[in-house]
Structure 1
């Protein structure tokens, strides 16, 4: 087996970053001052997503040139993405969030580290110190004053650098973010936009009246007080479990191929046997069994959750350039006894059913459910996959990132899939797990036990 695990405990805990200048970048053209409707999917994603994009030194682009070129490209891009220069507000009459496209601008800062890039260590392993590469957020700013996106360029002594981007998730999903980065890179090159984004969020509006046609066991009704203008972004992804360990498990291409063969030998159908489906099934089984409470009813149902792109699933399909959050939570379900004793193929099929279930009718029912209950997905395992978003494939004037990754927040509810670092060509995947120490020991034991049965 090619799988390895490594504690996410880097030697470098302080990147010694100093910020040299901070500014606000405004759209280089006028904004029409409209209010942008946010779908029910957007509504529950009011939290920030922080990503880091690392670049090797490029002699043609010294620090000043990168900062200036990027800042200029951001200003131009905000003409098309004018909502990013706006601010969230709460519409009291409609009782929902929207974006006021007021041209208030985005944050942009430039800094430097006293370290060389190679001193940080392996970029694949989540390092809490990476948070220093993303612009600091001011807790004193209310929702209506907080920029929806912030950029920070940090240069290392070797000439390499990192671009940290923090954006509110209401603005776009992962696919939309990839298009945004492609457009940013294109403008930095001096070229036209690579994609013309579709910013019409009403394509995912609820029906009137709402028509909930399914039971939706993957969703939880929340009894929340009315949102106020001073509300802080959702803390759903901030966890709440203290004293948890990070560990990264790497599945090589051979490991994944072995899982596929195992599923096939046990009767999984051809369309089910994808890399994601077998990896998700393996993680689901290990996480649930590692954390299952003593005395749990073996006939109780477990659910694994993951994002499903809606763009091609709706009727009519959404434009592929749809820029909002066009994803919903797919789920697979199985009894606890099936996770422990059942064939692996059963779990792979259950994962596949989550995506197959996401038809136009089902997706519209979820959106309408959100109109009535304003709830949130629930399950035993939530998998956030950055595996094939392709952020490291974006070609900037100074080159492609040597690695792109989210800044990890300790959360025992979510397992994150990362792509391999450039140079690892066997199509493997990195699995980042955060669990209390005892549960982590159980997870690791089960991870290799079931992998060894391939």
Structure 2
């Protein structure tokens, strides 16, 4: 798809905002610290198509208003040594790009992620120093049919999914001419940002160990270089219920808590990946699980805490066990990992990270072309849940989107579970990325084993 960039500008807060350095929490500074893209497609109502600049100006002006409240997004990150970052709130601004294409929305078919999306998503030049990179980049692309795409790349070192969607929904509200609904809570010291360790870690934190390698290999360099492809697989409500029923067969007692959708679907993805990759039965495999700590810390984080509050934990098993045992075994391993995340465990993990001389070993810099940091490709996977996030129904004044989805992702083993796009039908979408050599087999086992 040929896309022409028409203009690019920095949008600053419409009023003066606090200026200074904001300490980041440990959760902000580990894992993915690059930008995460999402994309929305719209068919705007006729009154927004004329004059031609109406949509762009609406976005620009409302974005400037939103940044008054969410001013950290207008700042810049800065390295301070030891692989650590600080957020300079300096109101330099976010990048807003205007583009156009001769293509029509229907050329994208069912909007399944593909290389066609790439020119619709703002690219981040990671060759620049980190203090020169906008934390938010937005691209509006107009199609010749009158449709538009709105894509956003937002720094994961500043926000997690829940905080990003809080910002986006408030921005849309302001674009519609409505008042802000809920102000963000910006003080990250509630997660001990910038403070020293309080105690020695009380728990073992295997999530910070290097994930297993393929049996017989001494590095993962070869696996990192293999070509990947993406797919979005749909599960109907009936298929989800069937998987849940299979996973919960023979549970120890009637009173035990049934496995959740996430635990069941993620267990199914894990098993299918082991089969598709053709692992030996003794192959160790690790699953990265994201757990929201907002309600698990004591006291709970304030409503609308703005930052990263997600803790990564890991479930481990041998591929042979996952494949030979019922799906409930995989779900049980995931449940065990999630249930460890208590207030004491979270604070122990914070103390562990605060005591580290350098955090760079825990940072995923894949987008920068780095071979350092954790690798959750073969024989491992990571599954993120957007099941509870309000990702649909984003209306800037010209109607709700016709499609919303993740942007491009090309990291082997990177998986995402989200609600189906149709209200109340109970369907689930699973966006996966695997090596090209494994994707057909994964697709086969994913549906065959339901």
- Which bin holds the TM-score, normalised by the shorter protein? 0.7 to 0.9
- Structure 1 residue 395 displacement after superposition: 3.2
Q: 2:201 aligns with which of 205, 209, 212?
A: 212
- Structure 1 residue 26 displacement after superposition: 1.1
User: How does 1:401-412 map onto structure 2 within 5 Å?
Assistant: 401-412=401-412
- Structure 1 residue 198 displacement after superposition: 0.7
Q: 2:250 aligns with which of 256, 266, 278?
A: 266
Q: 2:86 matched to 1:101?
A: no
Contact 2:197 2:350 in 1 (8 A): no
- Structure 1 residue 353 displacement after superposition: 2.3
- Deviations along 1:110-161, whole A, 9 cap, x unmatched? 12111121121111x1112212112233355321121111111111122211
**Distance change in 2, residues 1:91/1:438 (3 Å):** closer
What is aligned with 1:434? Answer: 433
Cα distance in 1, alignment partners of residues 153 and 230 from structure 2: 22
Contact 2:12 2:67 in 1 (8 A): yes
Cα distance in 2, alignment partners of residues 409 and 433 from structure 1: 9
Q: 1:277 aligns with which of 248, 256, 263?
A: 263
**Distance change in 2, residues 1:148/1:256 (3 Å):** same
**Partner SS state of residue 91, structure 1:** strand
What is aligned with 1:200? Answer: 187
Cα distance in 2, alignment partners of residues 304 and 139 from structure 1: 28
Contact 2:206 2:314 in 1 (8 A): no
Q: 2:315 matched to 1:327?
A: no
RMSD after superposition:
2.3
Higher mean C-alpha deviation, range 364-373 or range 41-50: 364-373
Cα distance in 1, alignment partners of residues 60 and 165 from structure 2: 18
Cα distance in 2, alignment partners of residues 201 and 184 from structure 1: 22
User: How does 1:12-411 map onto structure 2 within 5 Å?
Assistant: 14=1, 16-44=2-30, 45-62=32-49, 63-92=52-81, 96-123=84-111, 125-139=112-126, 141-205=128-192, 208-220=197-209, 240-267=224-251, 271-294=257-280, 296-297=281-282, 301-373=284-356, 374=359, 375-376=361-362, 380-411=380-411
Gaps of 5+ in 1: 1-13, 223-238
- Structure 1 residue 407 displacement after superposition: 1.1
Higher mean C-alpha deviation, range 171-180 or range 114-123: 114-123
Cα distance in 1, alignment partners of residues 182 and 168 from structure 2: 10
- Structure 1 residue 378 displacement after superposition: 6.6
Contact 2:409 2:433 in 1 (8 A): no
What is aligned with 2:442? Answer: 443
**Partner SS state of residue 426, structure 1:** coil
Cα distance in 1, alignment partners of residues 351 and 279 from structure 2: 34
TM-score of the two chains, using structure 2 as the length reference:
0.86
Cα distance in 2, alignment partners of residues 289 and 336 from structure 1: 8
Cα distance in 2, alignment partners of residues 322 and 27 from structure 1: 20
Cα distance in 1, alignment partners of residues 121 and 284 from structure 2: 40
Q: Which runs of 4+ in 1 moved over 6 A?
A: none
**Distance change in 2, residues 1:286/1:410 (3 Å):** same
Contact 1:58 1:159 in 2 (8 A): no
Contact 1:109 1:153 in 2 (8 A): yes
Gaps of 5+ in 2: 212-222, 363-373
Cα distance in 1, alignment partners of residues 302 and 126 from structure 2: 37
TM-score of the two chains, using structure 1 as the length reference:
0.85
Cα distance in 2, alignment partners of residues 202 and 184 from structure 1: 25
- Residues matched between the structures, number: 415
